[in-house]
Amino acid sequence: MDPWVVLLGWALAIPVIALAIFRLDRRVDERTVPFMAILAAGIFVAQMLNFPVGGGTTGHLIGATLAVVLLGLNGAIVVMTAILVIQCLVFGDGGLTALGLNLLNMAVIAPLVAYGVLRALKGHEGAAVPVASWASVFLASLACGLMLSASYVISDGAFGIIGSVAIPAMAGWHAVIAIGEAVITSGVVLFLKRVAPEMLEINGPEEAGA
């Protein structure tokens, strides 16, 4: 990645995350933080489960939509941020420079898209969750492809990948993987609706005003 693109990633991600933390901070009591943390750990662990895609390849969940459904937009942004920081610091996934762009893709763009779709499709029970999870993964991967090709252009080929390769490869592949995300997220939401409907109602009233 080109340094300028990395810088831009941080510059775009940090204000959104800061705003989410600020908004969340105003309405948390001391109960909320442990509760969000355990859900974050749940998403982290869920990301470790691979699902089959085809031809022997596997994909795994990102979980942004699940986080939005369970915690609302601000909660989801903070939870995804915590997950990505832990992955970066503890498990060395992607490294520190990639963190800014990972944050932008998976902790900002993906939850925002999921939230937007969920709101737009409010009332269409069956469609909202799968469409939101598909769109969140697809658009986040599209953004990633755009960043790679922007890096390539800015640095004259020293960083990044040329756009004609990066964008179709990232977006095309993830359009398929996103189906898995959609199926699993809907499955989890249906499962929770049946088994523990109280979990899905936590973010209802507060989030409308936020």
Partner 1 sequence: MELHIDRDAEGSALFRFDPRVKLVCIFALIVLVSMVTDAAALAFALLFAVLLLAFSRVPPVQLARGYLAALPFISLSSLTMLLASGPGSAMAMALRVSTSVLLLLLLVRTTPFMDLLWALRWFKVPALLTDMIMLTYRFIFVLLEELERMRLARKARGFQGGRSLLDRKAFQVLANTIGMVFLRSYRRAGQVYAALLSRGYDGKARTIATYRVGGRDLALGIVFVITGVWTLALQMGWYVWP
Task: Map the footprint of partner 1 across residues 1-30, applying CB under 8 A.
Answer: 1, 3, 6, 18, 21, 24-25, 28-30
> Least CB distance from residue 53 to partner 1, whole Å?
6
Binding mask 98-117 for partner 1 (x = CB under 8 A): --------------------
Calculate ∠ Cα 112-87-191, nearest 5°.
55
* DSSP single-letter state for residue 158: S
Asked if residue 192 binds partner 1 (CB under 8 A), the reply is yes
**Which of 67, 65, 85, 83 is CA-nearest to residue 75?**
67
Q: Is 41 in the site for partner 1 (CB under 8 A)?
A: yes
- Residue closer to partner 1 by CB (options 94, 120) is 94
Which span (105-113, 122-130, 132-140, 156-164) binds partner 1, by CB under 8 A?
156-164
Q: Are 147 and 9 in contact (CB under 8 A)?
A: yes
Nearer to partner 1, 146 or 199 (CB): 199
Residue 55 beta carbon to partner 1: minimum distance, rounded to whole angstroms = 7
31: Cβ–Cβ under 8 A, 6 or more apart, which residues? none
Q: Which residues of 35-48 are buried (b: 16+ CB within 10 A; e: fewer)?
A: ebeebbebbbebee
- Examine residue 91 and tell whether it contacts partner 1 (CB under 8 A): yes
